[in-house]
Structure formats: C-alpha cells, structure tokens
Amino acid sequence: MTGPLSGCRIVELAGIGPGPFAGMVLSDMGAEVLRVDRTQTLPADGTRPSSDVLGRGRRSVAVDLKAPGGRDTVLRLVERADALIEGYRPGVTERLGIGPDVCLERNPKLVYGRMTGWGQDGPLARTAGHDIDYISLSGVLSLIGRVGDVPVPPVNLIGDFGGGGLLLAFGIVCGILEASRSGQGQVVDAAMVDGSALLTAMVWGFRADGHWGQRGTNLLDTGAWFYEVYETADGGHLSFGSIEAQFFAEMVRLTGLAADVDNRGPVPEQWDQETWPAMKERLAAIVRTKTRSEWTAIFEGTDACVAPVLSLDEASRHPHNVERQTFVEHEGVIQPSPAPRFSRTPVRIAGPPAAPGEHTEEALVEWGFSTGEVQELRGSGAVG
C-alpha cells in the first residue's frame, strides 16, 4: 500500500453515491477500505462490475446481518478498524445492532462516519431525498442558472460528492487524526444539506457586502459578459473567465474588441453592470465568427483565461491532462486519477471494483478470523 493513509483500516457498509465516493477517495489515499455488502447482492456469476468507478480500490465481504453471527462478524471487523462508513437513514444501524454506541464499545478509538442527506437530527432527518432536494434546501440550487430561467441542477456534484462524500472523507481523516492524540473515537455526522451550504460560504460573504443579487446577474453566475460561455461557429463552446484587469485586457485584445473589430465603438468600463447585457450580445456575435479550434489556437498559451469547453472524451485526450495523467485507463475503463498528489507518498488506484463478496474468505482471515471460523459463518449463512 502507498499513499498518506497507508496503514489505516476502514470498514465501509455498502451504499450508493456519497458513501462509496468517500470510500473511493480514502482508498485512493492509501487506506485499506473493506466494503461490507449484503449477501442478497451476490452476483450469480461472480462477475466484477468493471464500470463501477466509485467501487474501485476496495475488497468486498458479503454479510447477512440478520443471520446468526452476521452482526458479530461486522463488530469483529470494527475492532480492527480506524473508521467506519455508513450511509443509512438515522436509526437503521442502531436497529441492526451495529450503531455507534455498540461499535465504540468494541473499539473506543473508532471514528464512526455517518453520511445522510438531512443529518442525524432535525425535522427532515428521517425523510427520503436526493441530491437535488438537499441542495434546494441549502440554497445552492437557487444560485445556479441564467437570469429569467429556472435553476439548473448541477448533475449531482454538489450534494452527493462535494458537500457529501468529500466532506465525509475529510471528517473521517480529521477524526482519525484526533483519535491518534486523544485515544478516543467519535461520530462524524456528515449531511449533504450542511456540506452543500458550506460550499456557498463565499457567496454568503458577497451577499453580506451587497455584491450578490438575482440569479444570473452576478459576476460568477453568467451575469458578467467576461465570465460566460459562448457558442462558436461550429456549435462548440468557449468559456470566458477574464476577471482580473490584466486578463480582461488580454481577452479584449485577442477577441479583436480592442481594435473595434465589429465597428461598435470602444469597450466600456469592465465593471459597469448596465453595459453587461449589451456586451454579452456583442461578444457572442464575435465568438460565432470562428470555430472552436480557431479560437483555441488564438487563446492557447495566453493569460486571457479563455478555454474550450471539452466533452469527457476530449478532456481525457487533452495534452495537458495526458501529461499530468489526470485521467487513466484502469481495467479497460477510463476514469479520473486519484487527487490530490503527494511528493513522498504517491497515491494510486488500489485495484478494480469488486463483486459483492468477492474477497470474503481472504479478507476475513486477514482481519483476524480463522479459516475454520469463516467456514462456520458460511455454513450458517452469515457470510457469502
């Protein structure tokens, strides 16, 4: 094992979305993450889900928590773990007999990571939801979209992954660090409504200063003509992020606006918001005069802060991403590489995604079970 978390052991109770993302990130950083799947999910043919990128880097044991010995199997794993990840609704693991109190009694240094949408308490705690619901109540969704149009869901990047799984992983690492000093574990209550709200901290600052108004009229949400996406002659797109004065001046020069290429007069003062709508139309017309590749050649290597909007396939082939190996092909599947990078403890993908229960015997033995005990658990149906 390599990576800064090498030597850490984490039990992940199988779930969807943000929980697996946290497990993937921790595994990428070198932690040994053992996923506990339900025996009911065992594939009939034992095939690996090769396209399950979120499942990479972990081994899997299959456990039936309701069978004799199933609950105790998980608790024995907990005894040797630094942390646990679970993504059930509040109260579920308690009912299964593997809640925080029971686990911390077995292992006082355990960091018990809980991933939910609404959190462990509050009026909505036991209510169903998805990313779009959590970012709606945190205010995030209201920020995203163009003026006069409905809010646009940003895939599920902000609730599930940015404000959810990534902050859960951060919380677990913080908990492990603190436990190494105090000798005491604790519960990490990671909620997507909380995490997505945290990601808007800068916007709340802008708002307090009176610098944030209606959706789609502000500096960073397509209100500004120099922070916008424009269509090119061939149907491609360019992103403009020319905020600082020197970058703005370079963009104005390279688009031809400085030379009054469209014969509409000089460019107005950058921060005069009354001119933004008209300048947006003016720049849009100029961008439509050339193809995306033509504009890319013009802006390549400059500080204008203009870039082509790439598809996923194009992004994986871009020379910068290729040189940095931002994307890798692993087991035949192109996917993002682990990030961030470390100078002394390099990170890597620890392995392909596992089929549920693929490593039950070998992993249990490595975590302290005897071969005979594993066979007994198989016979009772506790593991599969």
pTM, entire model: 0.95
The DSSP H or E segment spanning 237 is strand 237-241
Average pLDDT over residues 19-43: 95
Tell me the CA distances in angstroms from 159 to 29, 115, 192, 272, 353, one per residue in order.
Answer: 22, 11, 5, 34, 23
Read off the CATH number of the domain in which 357 is found.
3.40.50.10540
| Percent of the chain with pLDDT strictly greater than 70 | 99
Question: Tell me, what's the pLDDT at 46?
Answer: 66
Is 269 part of any domain? Answer: yes
Residues 71, 135, single domain; the answer is yes
Question: Tell me, what's the pLDDT at 49?
Answer: 81
Single out the catalytic residue among 130, 189, 237, 318. 130
DSSP state of 355: P
Residues 32, 157, single domain; the answer is yes
Quick check: is 318 catalytic? Answer: no
Residues 109, 247, single domain; the answer is no
Query: Where does a domain end: 276, 308, 340?
Result: 308
Question: Tell me, what's the pLDDT at 1?
Answer: 63
Task: Check: CB of residue 30 under 8 Å from CB of residue 328.
Answer: no
Residues 96, 149, single domain; the answer is yes
What single-letter amino acid sits at 28? D
Task: Check: CB of residue 226 under 8 Å from CB of residue 285.
Answer: no
Residues 137, 62, single domain; the answer is yes
Is 263 part of any domain? Answer: yes
Quick check: is 64 catalytic? Answer: no
Tens digit of each residue's pLDDT (9 = 90 or more) over 288-330: 999 999 999 999 999 999 999 999 999 999 999 999 999 999 9
Average pLDDT over residues 80-104: 97
Single out the catalytic residue among 37, 82, 131, 160. 160
Tens digit of each residue's pLDDT (9 = 90 or more) over 171-223: 999 999 999 999 999 999 999 999 999 999 999 999 999 999 999 999 999 99
Residues 170, 135, single domain; the answer is yes
Residues 27, 125, single domain; the answer is yes
- Name the band, by pLDDT with cuts 50, 70 and 90, for residue 11: very high
Closest residue by Cα to residue 247 from 204, 307, 330: 307
Query: What's the whole-number average pLDDT of the chain?
Result: 96
Backbone angles phi, psi at 328, to 5 degrees: -135, 160
Read off the CATH number of the domain in which 286 is found.
3.30.1540.10
Is 215 part of any domain? Answer: no
Contacts 24+ apart (CB under 8 A), 368-375: 368/76, 368/79, 368/80, 369/73, 369/76
Query: Where does a domain end: 277, 308, 339?
Result: 308
Is 336 part of any domain? Answer: yes
Residues 281, 337, single domain; the answer is no
Tens digit of each residue's pLDDT (9 = 90 or more) over 232-250: 999 999 999 999 999 999 9
Is 214 part of any domain? Answer: no
- Name the band, by pLDDT with cuts 50, 70 and 90, for residue 48: confident
Which residues, other chains included, contact 10 with Cβ-Cβ below 8 Å and sequence gap of 6+?
23, 26, 31, 32, 33, 34, 81, 82, 83, 84, 85, 172
Residues 142, 268, single domain; the answer is no
Residues 194, 244, single domain; the answer is no
Measured from the Cβ of residue 153, the count of other Cβ atoms closer than 10 Å reads: 18
Is 176 part of any domain? Answer: yes
Q: What is the number of domains present in the chain?
A: 2
DSSP state of 109: T
User: What residue numbers bound the domain in which 246 lies?
Assistant: 227-308
> CA neighbours within 13 Å on the CB side: how many for 57?
30
Average pLDDT over residues 135-139: 98
Whether 264 has a pLDDT exceeding 90, the answer reads: yes
Residues 276, 360, single domain; the answer is no
Is 313 part of any domain? Answer: no
Task: Check: CB of residue 310 under 8 Å from CB of residue 229.
Answer: no
Is 209 part of any domain? Answer: no
Query: Where does a domain end: 281, 308, 335?
Result: 308
Closest residue by Cα to residue 174 from 87, 96, 82, 92: 82
Residues 178, 256, single domain; the answer is no
